[in-house]
Amino acid sequence: MGCETDFGTALAGFFVYAMLVARLARELALCAGAASSGPGAGEIIAGKRNKRRGIVASLRGKTVAILVADEFEDIELYYPLIRLSEEGASVIVGAVPGGTHPRPYAPGKPITGRFGLTVPAPWLPEGSLYKMDLVKNLRLADLDAIVIPGGFCPDTLRRDAATVQLVRDAVAANKIVAAICHGPWLLYSADVVRGKKITSFISIRDDGVHAGATWVDEPVVRDGSLITSRTPRDLPEFCQAIIAGLQES
């Protein structure tokens, strides 16, 4: 009975999450459509995006890199992407190809999230709110912040030497580095949490403690330029902390 209950709960949770992701996809598609053809057209930083009436672009002139690999947590990529872009930031999705995932591989297949969303996505193509590049091509001097989504993609990111060095250098340069859910895995590998106060998904709490951090169970934790959060439900606080950090920098 217990196993059946657990399975039923997990299945229900999956469908709820899938509906949330689908809703996010529809909203992003509407935003992308409004950006390219809606009223109030005007140039903005990222690609061909247009101004939206009533929105103050508080991050104009800031550039944020969101690092991804296969099996990223879908909503933890697209929520910050749309939110930071909405604030006027120029967003670069920095990819590390070649990660592992359970879905069949096909040549040229885009980076794919845990719930099947791809980047670039057909409903939000590159050049609308963001551009894409390989992490190895990113220059720290061009970036104001780095965002690391969760899912299983940090397990690929932390094995890429260029990605680990980029994060380590960003923290040393006092750039905003924000990681959510399993994203702090990459911070641990970069050895940048020693003596810091952080949070993360509960299952990697001990990893953080072993890496020298003080772990707390809070929606968002900021220690200097380092920002961490626990799960998708903390995304509003996570993005607010990133925006506040960038406004100060």
Task: Point out the residues that are catalytic.
Answer: 181-182
For range 127-152, the mean pLDDT: 96
pLDDT for residue 33 is more than 90: no
Q: Which of 49-53, 98-102, 167-171 has the highest mean pLDDT?
A: 167-171
pLDDT of residue 128: 82
Spell 59-80 as b/e; 16+ CB within 10 A means b: beebbbbbbbbbbbbbbbbbbb
Where is pLDDT greater, at 181 or 33? Answer: 181
pLDDT of residue 57: 82
Name the band, by pLDDT with cuts 50, 70 and 90, for residue 104.
low
Percent of the chain, pLDDT > 90?
Answer: 68
Alpha helices in the chain (DSSP H): 2-37, 74-86, 153-157, 161-172, 184-189, 205-210, 235-248
Tell me the pLDDT of the chain averaged across its residues.
83
For range 103-119, the mean pLDDT: 83
Query: Model's pTM, two decimal places?
Result: 0.79
pLDDT of residue 31: 45
pLDDT tens digit string along 171-191? 999 999 999 999 999 999 999
Alpha helices in 87-228 (DSSP H): 153-157, 161-172, 184-189, 205-210
Per CATH, the homologous superfamily of domain 2-248 is Class I glutamine amidotransferase (GATase) domain (3.40.50.880)
pLDDT for residue 51 is more than 70: no
